[in-house]
Structure 1
Amino acid sequence: MNDMQAPVVALTLGDPAGIGAELIARLLARADLVAQANVVLVGDPWLWAEGQRIAGLSVTTIPVASLAEVRGRANAGTPAFLAVDTVAPEQVHRGQAEAAGGRSVLAVLDRCMDAASRREIDAICFAPLNKFAMKQGGLKHEDELHHFAEHLGVTSYFCEFNTLGDLWTSRVSSHVPLKEAAGLLSVERIVAAARLIYHSLQANGVTAPRVAVAGFNPHNGDGGTCGREEIDIIAPAVAQLVAEGLPVVGPYPADTIFLKARDGELDAVVTMYHDQGQIAIKLLGFSKGVTVQGGLPIPITTPAHGTAYDIAGQGKANVDATANAFQIACRMGRTYRSGDSLFGAPTSTTPTSSLS
């Protein structure tokens, strides 16, 4: 790819007590991946050095003084490194979720988002973080997606996608108690979740995504004898999407819809609650899954697994999911940089809150 046309993708090291720095070292040691973007790593120098040591690698980077100077720089085929000072080594205890680590993660991500708002970068790919550490460190939201949305001034619909290879999932409710999931079902939320993933897949290079919607109740409600959500809410939502011109199908029973996905019949599944899709995706390929922060004005991706505190520092971290997250960030970053209207979903008139 021409260096001048390559998207500028910012990478972060994630929670300093986890496996993030090791993962980024393994990622940046692969020339085939680095060649897909103009890469800039943002992180503490000591943590970056530690990640390379744990991975048994030495990665060449070119220092930059600001994210503004990354685009158009000479030697864009070599990763840039923006050194920041967010956490001291003595504040980090490997394998532990602590406020200092959470503050570090927030500081780096906020700096990247500010650069994104100034169009200095085209995508962000962050190494695993820990929500508990971030909440100790000042996170005021239930998760990082809601923090991103507030920081970037998002007022339209947004939700988290989980992906595995060519299969993507979105969900109508997310990080809430399961007992609340039924109350969060509505035609508007299902339509928004399906619309958003359809257009986001287009931004990822899928021209005509095949999207299906899962049911909520056992056996798809058994004709209303085991719940009426499929009849009263989900089927009308699918009908509205079809009327809009989106070739969405469903609802399909949740215990069989992923068989269709596994067999290559679908590009995306809209699920009704968190574990309905997460269990399937993680069983199909835990070490390769990716989380995409859907509906934001800039692509943001991360591996779907966590900080793996239990193996931090042991040199065992598997880079596959991080590599996949980076490649999605590159593809969507190219769409974003081009100004293509397919990036994300068009602003919806329904509803303006996120998928909780």
Structure 2
Amino acid sequence: MQSERPSRPIVLTMGDPAGVGPEIIAKALMQRPEWCQRVLVAGDVPSLKRAQALLGAEPEWVEVSDLNAWVHVPVGAPVVVQTCTLHEPVSWGCISASAGRAAADCIAWGATEVLAGRARALVTAPIHKEALHAAGVPYPGHTEMLQALSAAYAGVPLEQMPVRMMLSAPGLRTVLVSIHVALREAIAAVTFDQVLETLRITADYFARHGLPQARIAVAGLNPHAGEGGLFGREELEVIAPAIAAGRDRGWNVSGPYAPDTVFMRARQGAFDAVVAMYHDQGLIPVKLMGLEHGVNTTLGLPLIRTSPDHGTAFDLAGTGQASAASLLAALDEAWQTAARSPGPGEL
């Protein structure tokens, strides 16, 4: 247990208050009390107290008005800033505009604090895309919202801040060339520019966070990585040239490797990360390794952002049965990444 609070906390956003976010936050802080010293929760105080009471604990949240009061809170107490407005508690497991707006306001506040250097990283509890849409939020999810907020903060057009998703489980990290698109569109997205951009974002991320020569493996698109053109020519005409261009830039990239074995080799320690060509190619092996410990990290942002690798779980909300394991893994990942690249108020 730490004897004092670090000068800059991790900001942990509440997520959709109708989902499991508030209760997995309460559960995580109960299971690992040391996180009370490291985390400032951006959320709705009544929603968090309701979740803590659901778990059979007395609500002991300390509410502060802003991040400046963080270091003055007694050690051991969970700390929250009221960063959204809910006029009444939302119903667990129900989509609502008020819940979507509350979740978006918490994300915007947390991102601003991290971008300004007042907090060291952002960890986000799950949100619901339909609730965001109902609230009139012009972004489908966390990634797009954080990309827009970061680009605006940096004063650059959105297209100048491309991002990628990295999913990780113990022993395996996978970065995706494309995410939530139809499989036909995902195949079409395997272009020289898209693959090279993914390699750049991946190499830059690891270089900024203490691993300048990260071993990045690249999966092929086709079975057996095309078998010399017998099963498709994307490896020969697109992926291999992008890898060669990446090596010319000094990145430690190799491949393309057969998709059915490269993830196993990474798990055995041969690589630090695997670049996958599309969503299911990369996420099936990660989730097979253990969804309960999965972490989603957004690469390409000027801030550290992780989240649990699961959704709002409306079917479990309000039951107290949701696991905090993935959230704790996301907190660990954010803290360790920040430790490798400390900024103001370093560890």
**Which segment drifts farther, 47-56 or 228-237?**
47-56
Asked if the contact 1:164–1:288 (Cα under 8 Å) also holds between the matched residues in 2, the reply is: yes
Mapped to 2, the partners of 1:203 and 1:323 lie a distance apart of 23
Mapped to 1, the partners of 2:68 and 2:171 lie a distance apart of 33
- Residues 45-85 of structure 1 deviation map (CA, whole Å, 9 limit, x = unaligned): 11001111222234644321112433x44545543221244
Mapped to 2, the partners of 1:174 and 1:33 lie a distance apart of 34
Mapped to 2, the partners of 1:21 and 1:264 lie a distance apart of 36
**What TM-score, normalized to structure 1?**
0.87
Q: Which secondary structure does the structure 2 equivalent of 1:160 belong to? A: strand
Equivalence for 1:275: 280
Equivalence for 1:24: 25
- Residues 203-259 of structure 1 deviation map (CA, whole Å, 9 limit, x = unaligned): 555464221001111221222122111000101111112222222111111122111
Mapped to 2, the partners of 1:189 and 1:78 lie a distance apart of 46
**Which segment drifts farther, 12-21 or 254-263?**
254-263
Equivalence for 2:315: 310
Counterpart pick for 1:212 among 217, 232, 236: 217
Q: Which secondary structure does the structure 2 equivalent of 1:86 belong to? A: coil
Percent identity for Structure 1 against Structure 2: 32
1:223 counterpart = 2:224: no
Mapped to 2, the partners of 1:109 and 1:200 lie a distance apart of 22
Q: Which amino acid in the other structure matches residue 275 of structure 1?
A: D
Equivalence for 2:80: 81
Mapped to 2, the partners of 1:58 and 1:199 lie a distance apart of 44
Equivalence for 1:152: 150
Mapped to 2, the partners of 1:336 and 1:7 lie a distance apart of 13
Equivalence for 1:184: 189
Asked if the contact 1:38–1:79 (Cα under 8 Å) also holds between the matched residues in 2, the reply is: no
Q: CA deviation at 1:31?
A: 4.4
Q: Which amino acid in the other structure matches residue 124 of structure 1?
A: L
Q: Which secondary structure does the structure 2 equivalent of 1:338 belong to? A: coil
Flag the 1:5–1:49 CA change in 2: closer, same or farther, 3 A.
Answer: closer
Flag the 1:3–1:331 CA change in 2: closer, same or farther, 3 A.
Answer: farther
Mapped to 2, the partners of 1:205 and 1:19 lie a distance apart of 33
Asked if the contact 2:213–2:251 (Cα under 8 Å) also holds between the matched residues in 1, the reply is: no
Q: Give the 5 Å matches for 1:1-356.
A: 3=4, 5=6, 7-31=8-32, 33-34=34-35, 38-58=38-58, 60-70=60-70, 72-73=71-72, 75=74, 78-90=77-89, 92-153=90-151, 155-206=160-211, 208-335=213-340, 337-338=342-343
Asked if the contact 1:103–1:137 (Cα under 8 Å) also holds between the matched residues in 2, the reply is: yes
Q: Which amino acid in the other structure matches residue 134 of structure 1?
A: L
Asked if the contact 1:181–1:273 (Cα under 8 Å) also holds between the matched residues in 2, the reply is: yes
Q: CA deviation at 1:99?
A: 2.0
Q: Which amino acid in the other structure matches residue 9 of structure 2?
A: V
**What TM-score, normalized to structure 2?**
0.89
Flag the 1:109–1:2 CA change in 2: closer, same or farther, 3 A.
Answer: same
Q: Which amino acid in the other structure matches residue 320 of structure 1?
A: A
Equivalence for 1:349: none
Flag the 1:127–1:4 CA change in 2: closer, same or farther, 3 A.
Answer: closer
Q: Which secondary structure does the structure 2 equivalent of 1:255 belong to? A: helix
Q: Which amino acid in the other structure matches residue 214 of structure 1?
A: A
Mapped to 1, the partners of 2:340 and 2:74 lie a distance apart of 23
Q: Which amino acid in the other structure matches residue 63 of structure 2?
A: P
Flag the 1:80–1:147 CA change in 2: closer, same or farther, 3 A.
Answer: same
Q: Which amino acid in the other structure matches residue 26 of structure 1?
A: K
Q: CA deviation at 1:21?
A: 0.8
Q: Which amino acid in the other structure matches residue 113 of structure 2?
A: A
Q: CA RMSD in A?
A: 2.4
Mapped to 1, the partners of 2:293 and 2:271 lie a distance apart of 18
Mapped to 2, the partners of 1:119 and 1:192 lie a distance apart of 27
Mapped to 1, the partners of 2:177 and 2:186 lie a distance apart of 8
Q: CA deviation at 1:18?
A: 1.1
Mapped to 2, the partners of 1:88 and 1:222 lie a distance apart of 61
Flag the 1:100–1:205 CA change in 2: closer, same or farther, 3 A.
Answer: same
Q: Which amino acid in the other structure matches residue 193 of structure 1?
A: T
Q: Which secondary structure does the structure 2 equivalent of 1:46 belong to? A: helix
**Which segment drifts farther, 274-283 or 258-267?**
258-267
- Residues 290-349 of structure 1 deviation map (CA, whole Å, 9 limit, x = unaligned): 11111111111110111111111111111111001011121233445427xxxxxxxxxx
Mapped to 2, the partners of 1:193 and 1:244 lie a distance apart of 13
Unaligned runs of 5+ in 2: 152-157
Mapped to 1, the partners of 2:75 and 2:124 lie a distance apart of 20
Count residues in correspondence: 337
- Residues 177-211 of structure 1 deviation map (CA, whole Å, 9 limit, x = unaligned): 21111221222221221232233234555464221
Q: CA deviation at 1:164?
A: 0.9
